[in-house]
Structure 1
Amino acid sequence: MTTTAIITLAAVLVIVLGVSVLTRPRHSSTVDFYLAGQRVGVATNSWAICGDYLSAASFLGVAAAVYVSGLDGAWYAVGFAAGFVPVLLLVAAPLRRYGEFSLADFLGRRLRSEAVRLHSVGVVQLVILCYLIPQSVGGGITWELLVGHGLFGLSPYSTGVLLSTAVIAVVVASGGMRGTTWNQAVQFLLLFGALVWLAATVSADGFRYGEAVETLSQEPLVNPAPDGDQWQLTQEHNAISPGEEAVFGQPGARYGQLGQVALVVTLGLGTAGLPHVMNRYFTAPTGRAARTTTVWVLLLIGMFYALAVMMGTAARDIIPAAAREHAWLAELTVEGVLRVPEHALPVLGRIYGDEAGLGLIAAAALIAAMSTVAGLLLASAATWGHDVYERHINPRATQRQAVWVGRASTLIAASIAAALAILLRPDAFTPAMPSLVATMVTWAFAIAGSALTPVVVLAIWWRRTTAAGAVAGLASGSVTAIAMFLIASFMEPGALRELFAAPTLVAAPLAFLLTIAVSLRTQPPAEVEADWLIMHGTAADRHAERMAALTMRERRRRKEERRAR
């Protein structure tokens, strides 16, 4: 471990912990701990959402997927970025206007059902766990490359998993949403700045994206694969045109036509059901602020993913020549091709910035993992502390008790994720996946998009949605997605396997249909018109409704006073 690496890691930890201490809430109310007092501005919230959303799967995984499979890897960037379009059009403003603590809280109150609330909690926790594990894996991979040494007798990978998860768990438990918000905003700016530096440096050295794609496409695409104790390069085959060789700049290196559509739909629909991202909209002061925030998020993540695709291409173009000049690359490559695709950006950083460049990019990767872990742990705390403990276990809980339960749940969730990440270490998987981290995150998107998104969208936009229908949609979407995942692991490569591996294209329509079918046979909540006005009425409508309610209460008070006389 070099002095530069030590200084870089120490600086990151000091910044993260320092921001948490400075922004620690002065009060112990649940609104402060979970929602930062609902006073987060547009700029800060947009940066924080980006920091929350742009995980290790985005920073390491998208570039890695492009590095391994060329154009097919870029579908991850398309799907991740496109996910905020339905959020902007369908979810952001109505969700904030309704104003709750979490997605489970929103569905439970909107449909007047504790059964819906508890089913939502189960699905939310499953999504959070599926998302937490790859972030911890990303932290372990980065530490292993950057430091290369373990602590307390642990392997470098396990040390990275435990250290990155433990630090951010303490940050979330102490700082709540206010500290997490500022941390994620600062972390996004650091993360984006590191990627911009790398792109500017590579471009200044003569790299041109179009020329690189054309050059790489002149030869068949090959990737390393284990052969016993050795590694050898294997040629990729075109999934769209069987029998033909796959090339970097043409579709088919990883997915067939159906698989590409299924992947983009899974990622696009999944965003609107991600609890750690959607919970951030409850922190905005108004529905309009939530919508404006989403516009800024779309702009920022669009630029980020464009740079990530560009850098994945640059790594594929530059690293083979660099491997002939730098001896340290021999341990990471097979004939100039990286064995671990997630090393693409850190290796580029070291090529162009020596140890300081490696430290910067690796620190950015740790930031990406830690920032998303923070949002996930806070979403977990909201569901356990507010939706379960306050609502069911101890309805008479004080604000202080509820906050402490939320803090304890963050530590428990972090421990489970770290333990599973250590068990599911990267070398347990084959390079059949374009990127381990990006692929594992796809599981979370699939469950969210198959179960939560259909029910949330219908609850916002269809008056007839009922509690029984929502339970049917949540259960069918999540069970179908998980079953398809499991079946895909036993299937031979092909279009059907690609569909089952990204199951939202099947599971989400099923959840929509079952929610509608069951809702049509049951009665919606009596308060649906009042809820509709809150979510969709104009500001004047809502003001008039509040004034009417105040007038009615005043009339009832006067009647009671007259009767008392």
Structure 2
Amino acid sequence: MNGSSALTLAGVLVLLTVVAVVIRPRGASTVDFYLAGQRVGVATNAWAICGDYFSAASFLGVAAAVYATGLDGAWYAVGFAAGFVPVLLFVAAPLRRFGEFSIPDFLGRRLGSEKVRLVAVGVVQVVILSYLVPQAVGSGITWELLVGSGLLGLSPYATGILVSTAVVAGLVAFGGMRGTTWTQAVQFLLLLGALVWLAATVVGEGFHYGDAVADLSRAPLENPAPDGGLTSEQNALHPEEPAIFGQPGARYGGLGQFALIVTLALGTAGLPHVMNRYFTSPTGAAARTTTVWVLCLAGIFYSLAVMLGTAAREIVPTAVDDHPWLADLTVDGVLQVPEHALPVLGRIYGGDAGLGVVAAGALIAVMSTIAGLLLAAAASWGHDVYERHINPRATQRQAVLAGRVTTLVTACAAAGLGLALRPETFATATASIVATMVTWAFAIAGSALTPVFLLTIWWRRTTAAAAVAGMATGMLVAVAMFTAGLFAAGGLLREALVTPTLVAAPLAAAVTVLVSLRTTAPADVEKSWLIMHGTAADRHAERLAQLVLDENRRRRAGRRARRARG
């Protein structure tokens, strides 16, 4: 349905990201493959984290959620951006000071337990797979709209999933963290550029956010019904009233709104592909400064996404008569797939080239996040399992090869699950299938990893047995709750079930504390505490004291040896 110019422009933008990988040097050591030699600067790392974090859920999903549910969709933007506040305050600097390859590596060394490491690997893989699948779905949706045709007899949706996943898996496997860092930094700048261009174009054509919200709020909010036509949304806060675009309640009640924000905010600190990036910073101070940059960029990015979701809701119905191709994508002027909101705006104002810019931005968002997730999977399997347990005597070349193989296997699993899902299956139950599925990953991370992670960093008494119990509790409760929520009829019960972190995270924290009080803390906890929380002067004094102790031990050993000889 689209001209070749859109595909050509998309290809050029994606090609730039490939070049960004090819021109970077790549080392053969695990430190270089997983951590880019721990020499990534503040600005570059901030851009790379944004490229990692601003996924299909951010670029397509937030605007889609706002388009479909109005103010309730904006809670996704609030939660995604707010997630870096606890990271800034509690995680970034101590995590980098302690230094390791991954979350499982950090927990295993801090608590002195290989069991903790292996359990954390399992949880991390569940989070990664939960996050990868919606990225695959987003790439399928984008390819379907941008290209409209498949390859080798495949559907456009399946082609988008397979092509994007295969390209990124290859780039990550051969480029490692160094190549991926520069790829993600370039991808973020292109992604932000696409969003800024679209926002400037819409505003230049006369769009005003405040006026649009007021206009859209004059009538009940309607969305496509499963059997055709439109159906009015009911207000979850006031069931006797219809939902309004500019008022809360179109999708979530009071409990659901609060639970969603908590789930997204807590989940960020447990996302392995984001937290692993802090190990690439040269110092703890650099990690903290990087987070400040990310918070500023997130505020800009999500503000634009919310504005453009609103713009699409106002502009698309009036554009149907002038753009006949919209008839295939809409029902009575409302998009059938909310994730089409930004690409459709791009085509309305820029033709096929405009569609190419926005759709390429969406593909870039997907590819960048997939790259970070695959690297996190490689680090947890390749370093934490293969090097530590399967082949402890592995050479650097063998260890890097294990990471590359893990990358390809994880990519295949994610693509397979993405192919098994179709957005239409969930269209009537969710504001945005991409944003909703990513929320599940945040729920598991925020329930199973973040409580244990924070306690391990900030409570000396945390033990290995407690960490295992806490992670298991958080993950099992979270998975059980949102699985039950998929079959719940609705109301407060369903809202609590589909955003389970509000219940699962406190349970995980309580279990961790209780078990810690009944078990023994690691013997070297004070040393770990000094590394994570001591000042530079403290750590310098500790090193000097250790040197003095070592020298005294050598002198005593020498005196004993002389007495034995005499």
TM normalised by structure 2 equals 0.98
> 1:490, CA displacement in angstroms?
1.7
Task: Describe the superposition over 1:459-513 as per-residue Cα deviations: whole angstroms up to 9, x where unpaired.
Answer: 0000000011101110000000000011112211101101100000000000010
Contact 2:14 2:364 in 1 (8 A): no
Of 484-493 and 151-160, more deviation after overlay is shown by: 484-493
Residue 225 of structure 2: SS of its match in structure 1? strand
Task: Describe the superposition over 1:69-95 as per-residue Cα deviations: whole angstroms up to 9, x where unpaired.
Answer: 000000000000000000000100000
Which residue is equivalent to 1:426? 423
> 1:323, CA displacement in angstroms?
1.0
In the TM superposition, 1:233-248 aligns within 5 A as: 233-248=230-245
Q: Please tell me the residue identity of whatever aligns with 1:271.
A: T
Of 488-497 and 305-314, more deviation after overlay is shown by: 488-497
Q: Distance in 2 between matches of 1:73 and 1:130?
A: 21
Which residue is equivalent to 1:10? 11
Q: Distance in 1 between matches of 2:55 and 2:559?
A: 62
Q: Distance in 2 between matches of 1:338 and 1:6?
A: 22
Which residue is equivalent to 1:455? 452
Task: Describe the superposition over 1:308-350 as per-residue Cα deviations: whole angstroms up to 9, x where unpaired.
Answer: 0000000000000001211000000001000000000000000
Q: Distance in 2 between matches of 1:206 and 1:433?
A: 31
Which residue is equivalent to 2:94? 94
Q: Please tell me the residue identity of whatever aligns with 1:77.
A: A
Q: Distance in 1 between matches of 2:551 and 2:156?
A: 67
Contact 1:20 1:174 in 2 (8 A): no
Residue 249 of structure 2: SS of its match in structure 1? coil
Q: Distance in 2 between matches of 1:265 and 1:495?
A: 16
Which residue is equivalent to 2:174? 174
Contact 2:7 2:146 in 1 (8 A): no
> 1:564, CA displacement in angstroms?
5.4
Q: Does 1:67 align with 2:64?
A: no
Q: Distance in 2 between matches of 1:226 and 1:541?
A: 64
> 1:19, CA displacement in angstroms?
1.0
Which residue is equivalent to 2:378? 381
Q: Does 1:470 align with 2:467?
A: yes
Contact 2:6 2:354 in 1 (8 A): no
- Is there any run of 5+ residues in structure 1 with no aligned partner, and where? none
> 1:550, CA displacement in angstroms?
2.2
In the TM superposition, 1:216-255 aligns within 5 A as: 216-227=216-227, 231-255=228-252
Task: Describe the superposition over 1:162-200 as per-residue Cα deviations: whole angstroms up to 9, x where unpaired.
Answer: 000100101100110000000000000000011001001
RMSD, matched Cα: 1.0
Q: Distance in 1 between matches of 2:511 and 2:459?
A: 14
Equivalences, count:
561
Q: Distance in 2 between matches of 1:291 and 1:21?
A: 30
In the TM superposition, 1:246-325 aligns within 5 A as: 246-325=243-322
Which residue is equivalent to 1:370? 367
Q: Distance in 2 between matches of 1:316 and 1:513?
A: 44
Contact 2:337 2:427 in 1 (8 A): no
> 1:431, CA displacement in angstroms?
2.2
Instruction: Indicate the percent of aligned positions where both proteins have the same amino acid.
Output: 71
In the TM superposition, 1:32-71 aligns within 5 A as: 32-71=32-71
Q: Distance in 1 between matches of 2:348 and 2:189?
A: 23
Q: Distance in 2 between matches of 1:423 and 1:12?
A: 29
In the TM superposition, 1:488-499 aligns within 5 A as: 488-499=485-496
Moved over 6 A (4+): none
TM normalised by structure 1 equals 0.98
Contact 1:223 1:235 in 2 (8 A): yes
> 1:457, CA displacement in angstroms?
0.1
Q: Does 1:544 align with 2:541?
A: yes
Which residue is equivalent to 1:326? 323
> 1:12, CA displacement in angstroms?
2.5
Q: Please tell me the residue identity of whatever aligns with 1:212.
A: A
Contact 1:225 1:430 in 2 (8 A): no
Which residue is equivalent to 1:360? 357
Q: Please tell me the residue identity of whatever aligns with 1:327.
A: P
Q: Please tell me the residue identity of whatever aligns with 2:331.
A: V
